[in-house]
Structure 1
Amino acid sequence: MHKLFRIFLSIVAGVGLVACKQEVKKETESSKSGREISNVINNDSVLLVEKPNDVDTPEGMVWIPGGELKQGAVPQDKMAMQHEKPAINVLVDGFFMDITEVTNAQFEKFVNETGYVTTAERAIDWEELKKQVPEGTEKPHDSVLQPGALTFKKTKTSVPNLYDFSQWWNWTIGADWKHPNGPESNIIGKENYPVVQISYEDALAYCQWAGRRLPTEAEWELAARAGKKGTTFFWGDDISVLQQRANTWEGEFPVTNTKADGFEFRAPVKSYPPNDYGLYDMAGNVWEWTSDWYNTNYYKEVKAMGEVQKNPQGATKPFTPNNPYAKEKVIKGGSFLCSASYCASYRVSAKMGSSMDSSLEHTGFRTVATVDMLTD
């Protein structure tokens, strides 16, 4: 549990850290044998494009028309990473998606009705944890083995090595969704902010309660593009309007945020204009979970098949070449920490992998629903 706490233990054991700007290393033959790619190809069925007349749009959601999608990096995107390439051709049935990221108020209602306890609030089991860190890692003092999560901290001076993200993340005991920046923080008056410090497991629990599910990566990109094909951002290719369109890091990361976009950290949902489908914060603010495994070679394998995939579910197994312990899911959209020098993940095709038990102050989620989920 607590993948980011495991990362801090890995530092002690001498295991290096990487950031999202690092290029993926060339895969070895031995690593190729350890993964599989899903082969969900069914081009004979009819694509669901328009919302059926007999199905009502759930409150707080919007219909995303089905269509074809070039999933992955566009040719003009000079910031695209190797795991975004090559772009693949997919077909996606229409579905409903939350207009905003799930808010603190919505998640609080779920917790109040179910008594659910998030992963960041649960006790840490060292016997389980030590199975997931490098052999020989010493057990930390019990005072350290306490429930918590990672919180962001600005640095006082410039950071020459942006691959070492331990410089701006703190393992903070007492940090959770109700105390996103640590035990002294709270969400009072922030009911309309996106809920964060949410692990994949937490997001799934909410989905089960709400009768929803997480989007696939293909669904997320189709929704983010909102009919704009071949553009770097959901609004087009003009980077100069970024601060009017999304909550990102303006200034030198991670030292100074000029707040040119109006916010230093998280922003309330609907603080920026929606895309053409009426979806808010599909770039910046907080990262969003998807249901796909993070596999750096997924696009290459699919492209090699030479076939169009319909409603792809992503790779059947995770694969992260620089972390053999990782079992990560794809997160999309970027966050308030993204800048041109670090991450630049406000691009539609951008993504990262995050362990299912990770809880961070810049990660939340939104849900989707399909016609069959509402009519069964």
Structure 2
Amino acid sequence: MLQQAVGDIGIVGSLRPFTRQVHIPRDCHDHRRADSLTSLNTSYSNPLLVGTAIRAQLEHEVPQDLPLEKDFREDSAYTITDHVHQLHASLSKDPRTLQLITSLISHLHAFARETQFTHSEWTKVVAFLTRAGKESTDFKNEFVLLSDCIGLSALVDEINHPKPLGCTESCEPGPFYTEDAPEIPSGSSLAKAGTTGEAMFFSGTVKNLKGEGIKGARIDVWQADGDGIYDVQYPGRTEPNDRGRIVASPDGSFNYRGILPTAYPIPSDGPTGDFLHLLEGRHPHRASHIHFTLKAPGYDDLTTALYPSHSPFLGTDPVFATKKSLICELVEERNPDHWSEMGFKEGEVQGGRVWVWKYNFVLATITEVEQLQRARATKAL
């Protein structure tokens, strides 16, 4: 029904018929019929006014209608932007929906005026968006990719997940998180035997702003392998790899063995890839990283990623997820005696080294985040 189709965005008004006088020309072939219809008070159910499809949709629900009282022209004081805003303000019942739609339309119309947007350019944009919709799948959403590549996803994440100064910054989780990561003891390996890549040892702590370890913090880890491929991208995947869930020790510490991740490209064979090619210097290659989600009672959940300082593309990451505070200096451990102390067995270390990665996560309490959100909201007024 029409109410269901548009009710979610708040533009359906009270459900009552709108009636009006219908003028039929006097030279109509049947003057008697014309005379009778001239003064006929009709509604949306009248087949002379409304087609079959709409009458079927509006059988039980009728939207508001409003008369056109003013002309809108681009060179006048009352433009199409004003008219659209007035219409929505007259019909919308939800203040937040009206705020979002009004702001979006204002900026889009301002963009068209500022750039003197041509009809040819408009046609290309519509074709681009149409193609993005057609080429999106459950595994590759072109609209999400586009949002990532224009920095919108990173901005929304920053707005919605503010962190007090001194806390670990957040970033988007990306598309490769799964619910089937195994729970492993601290000190175990995330990588299955035979996984491509150089050996890595990660040790970390989870603390609060007071420097206190957070006992029982749960750390969810997932990453690509040494070929830059996630386990879910391999055909015939039967079990998780390069991912796991760890519970921090009473002092907030944890560690695990794994594979050093490498850089990899985001999908670039669709409209988003074409968008990147439009701008010289843009590329689809993500910097190397490991994803983390940390949770603890009383603390705000943190989803973030860490990046090795030796990775390429730190400054040109296509989804704008790299932040200086999340870049880490890694150490190459070449002493075999130290490898065994980390839990590596003979033959597990390839290339004559283990990459040692350390990071101290700092979580904010829910109260600290709420205070920051209130302060930002007050400042925005």
Q: TM class by shorter-chain length?
A: under 0.3
Q: TM-score of the superposition, structure 2-length normalised?
A: 0.18
Larger-Rg structure: 2
Name the structure with the higher helix share.
2
For CA contacts below 8 A with separation 6 or more, give which structure has more relative contact order. 1
